[in-house]
């Protein structure tokens, strides 16, 4: 029997500044993180914290999740990513605090894999 432990699970995705594309990207990322970390019950999720780059201003990622029916009773928070010279544009990052029974699998989807190539190489990020 595995005992669940509290973990921080990270992820990121790049998207265009379009509400439909942003909603799709965020929801696909969260679903993949939940799947890879066997998070099946919302009660196992403590909170989700998003950051997004300043060039994404069409939709709040937390609102995108709620519109899609995900995490409807979970604490969600969104803030602006610091504007750093040379940072990857059009990027949404997430930190999920959740109870899991195994080592967390972080997911960096699409172009966001470049943020953490070390995780993409080890299979802890989406290929």
The verdict on residue 111 lying in a domain is yes
The domain that holds 35 is classified in CATH as 3.30.1330.40
Match 């989807």 to its residue by tokens. Answer: 109
Task: Yes or no: say if 10 and 106 are a contact pair by the CB < 8 Å rule.
Answer: yes
Is the pLDDT score of 57 beyond 60? Answer: yes
User: What is the structure's pLDDT at 125?
Assistant: 45
The verdict on residue 26 lying in a domain is yes
The verdict on residue 127 lying in a domain is no
* Three-state secondary-structure class, residue 26: helix
Bridge partners of 58, per DSSP, are: none
User: What is the structure's pLDDT at 126?
Assistant: 39
> How many domains are there within the chain?
1
Task: Yes or no: say if 105 and 7 are a contact pair by the CB < 8 Å rule.
Answer: no
The verdict on residue 52 lying in a domain is yes
The verdict on residue 40 lying in a domain is yes
Claim: this prediction has a pTM higher than 0.85 = yes
Of all residues in the chain, the percent with pLDDT exceeding 90 is 83
User: What is the structure's pLDDT at 2?
Assistant: 67
The verdict on residue 79 lying in a domain is yes
| Choice between 102 and 8, residue whose per-residue pLDDT is larger | 8
* Separation CA 15–CA 46 (nearest Å): 26
Is the pLDDT score of 8 beyond 60? Answer: yes
* Three-state secondary-structure class, residue 81: coil
Quote the domain boundaries for residue 104. Answer: 5-122
Mean pLDDT confidence for 31-51 = 96
Mean pLDDT confidence for 49-69 = 96
């Amino acid at each position: 029997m595995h005992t669940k432990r509290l973990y921080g699970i990270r992820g990121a995705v790049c998207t265009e500044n379009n509400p439909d594309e942003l909603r799709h990207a965020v929801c696909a990322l969260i679903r993949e993180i939940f799947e890879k970390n066997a998070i099946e019950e919302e009660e196992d999720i403590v909170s989700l914290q998003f950051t997004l780059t300043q060039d994404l201003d069409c939709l709040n990622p937390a609102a995108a999740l709620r519109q899609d029916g995900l995490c409807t009773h979970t604490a969600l928070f969104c803030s602006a990513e610091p504007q750093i010279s040379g940072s990857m544009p059009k990027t949404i990052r997430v930190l999920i605090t959740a109870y899991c029974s195994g080592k967390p699998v972080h997911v960096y989807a699409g172009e966001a894999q470049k943020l953490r190539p070390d995780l993409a190489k080890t299979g802890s990020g989406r290929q």
